[in-house]
C-alpha cells in the first residue's frame, strides 16, 4: 500500500488567486507580451493576434486590480496609455516562461 494518508492539496485561496490571474484565456499572452517591457494599448493589441478590444481592456483591468500590471496615462491628444508589469507580475516570469517552453516541446 503506497499511500496511507491522503493529504489535502490545492486549498482554495492560493489556487483561486492564481487562476484569477492567469486562468483567463488571454491573461498569459498579455503577461508574456509585457515581459519584453512597457507597452501601449495598441501595441498589445497587435502583439496578441485574435484578441479583441473588449477582452484586452477587461484582462488589463483585471491584471491591474490584481496588482500584476500598472497603468500610466499621459494627457496627450490622442491619448497615450502605457502598461507595465509590477514586481509581483515580473515574479511570474519564470513559471510562465517554463510553461511556454513545455508547450513548445510538446505541441504535436
Burial, 30: exposed, middle or buried (Cβ in 10 Å; 0-12, 13-18, 19+)?
buried
Compute CA 31 distance to the chain's CA centroid, rounded to the nearest angstrom. 4
Q: Does 57 bind a copy of itself (CB under 8 A)?
A: no
Structure-block grid coordinates of residue 70: 500598472
Q: Does 103 bind a copy of itself (CB under 8 A)?
A: yes
Q: Does 40 bind DNA (CB under 7 A)?
A: yes
Nearer to DNA, 67 or 79 (CB): 79
Q: Does 38 bind a copy of itself (CB under 8 A)?
A: yes
Give the span between the Cα atoms of 49 and 29, in whole angstroms: 10
The residue from 28, 47, 48, 55 that contacts DNA (CB under 7 A) is 55
Report the nearest approach of a copy of itself to the CB of residue 4 (Å): 11
Report the nearest approach of DNA to the CB of residue 55 (Å): 4
Full 3-state SS string of 44-63: HHHHCCCCCHHHHHHHHHHH
Q: How many residues can be counted in the chain?
A: 108
The residue from 49, 50, 75, 94 that contacts DNA (CB under 7 A) is 50
The binding site for DNA (CB under 7 A) comprises: 24-26, 40-43, 50-55, 57, 60-61, 71, 78-81
Amino acid at each position: 500500500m503506497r499511500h496511507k494518508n491522503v493529504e489535502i492539496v490545492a486549498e482554495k485561496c492560493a489556487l483561486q488567486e492564481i487562476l484569477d490571474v492567469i486562468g483567463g484565456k488571454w491573461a498569459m499572452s498579455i503577461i508574456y507580451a509585457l515581459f519584453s517591457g512597457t507597452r501601449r494599448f495598441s501595441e498589445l493589441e497587435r502583439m496578441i493576434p485574435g484578441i479583441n478590444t473588449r477582452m484586452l481592456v477587461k484582462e488589463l483591468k483585471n491584471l491591474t486590480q490584481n496588482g500584476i500590471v500598472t497603468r500610466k496615462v499621459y494627457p496627450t491628444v490622442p491619448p497615450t496609455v502605457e502598461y507595465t508589469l509590477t514586481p509581483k507580475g515580473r515574479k511570474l516570469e519564470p513559471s510562465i516562461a517554463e510553461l511556454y517552453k513545455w508547450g513548445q516541446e510538446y505541441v504535436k
